[in-house]
């Protein structure tokens, strides 16, 4: 099959990515992972969104396993915050730029600005991990994932992880101040529970439950940090 090629796509970078992932340079999953929907619609070829879904799961398991091994004494809450820092769109964008992924993408004519879009690059990182998983299995995908994640992990320490409320406020600088409100509460006096929603610019970004208002606020902030609504509010486009 003759595969259409974006003239702006750099074959040398594609070959380097194939080598890093342990794939042949003509692997079908590799080229699908590098295909943005805009290009797919022009040329009637598969795009990378299905692979992105699978790659998100591969990435999540890889990072969770790595943190579990590397920090055996840290509680679940700290590891969850560390994972969020390693797998968010900003972190994946950094990984993608380091691997020169923008130069390897296939995008539609006149849409070159998409190449460096944070979410487009982040999606491609996940799709490439899915390509490695489908072609080489878990061990191959894990090796590729760890090679990409290690530099970011080396710069991260449990003590340097912001609590979710502080992290959310930091991301929303210039956008708005998070407001927390109790939406539900119940339970007997000795075992109360609370549900809190966090709202920014009249939009609910997340909700969380806890045995105190403080814990529920933290859970709501963590949910907001992981929500697509936050990326939308920040103006990140695909």
Give the residue numbers marked as catalytic: 56, 126
41 alpha-carbon distance from chain centroid: 24
- Beta bridge partners, 193, equal 186
Residues 6+ apart with CB under 8 A from 207: 183, 195, 196, 197, 198, 219, 220, 223
**Tokens 């590891």 sit on residue:** 79
Distance CA 235, CA 187 (A): 39
Reported as type and span, the H/E element at residue 179 is strand 179-186
């Amino acid at each position: 099959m003759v595969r259409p090629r974006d003239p702006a796509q750099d074959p040398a970078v594609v070959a380097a990515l194939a080598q890093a992932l342990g794939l042949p340079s003509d692997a079908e999953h590799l080229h699908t992972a590098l295909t943005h929907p805009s290009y797919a619609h022009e040329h009637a070829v598969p795009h990378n969104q299905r692979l992105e879904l699978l790659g998100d799961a591969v990435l999540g398991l890889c990072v969770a396993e790595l943190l579990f091994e590397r920090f055996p004494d840290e509680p679940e809450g700290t590891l969850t915050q560390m994972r969020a820092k390693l797998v968010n769109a900003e972190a994946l964008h950094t990984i993608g730029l380091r691997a020169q992924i923008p130069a390897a993408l296939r995008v539609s004519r006149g849409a070159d600005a998409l190449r460096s879009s944070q979410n487009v690059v982040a999606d491609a990182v996940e799709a490439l991990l899915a390509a490695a998983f489908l072609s080489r299995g878990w061990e191959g995908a894990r090796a590729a994932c760890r090679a990409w994640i290690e530099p970011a992990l080396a710069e991260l320490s449990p003590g340097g992880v912001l609590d979710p409320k502080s992290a959310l406020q930091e991301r929303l600088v210039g956008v708005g101040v998070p407001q927390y409100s109790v939406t539900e509460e119940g339970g007997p006096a000795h075992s109360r529970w609370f549900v809190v929603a966090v709202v920014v610019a009249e939009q609910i970004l997340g909700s969380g439950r806890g045995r105190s208002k403080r814990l529920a606020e933290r859970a709501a902030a963590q949910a907001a940090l992981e929500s697509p609504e936050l990326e939308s509010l920040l103006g990140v486009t695909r």
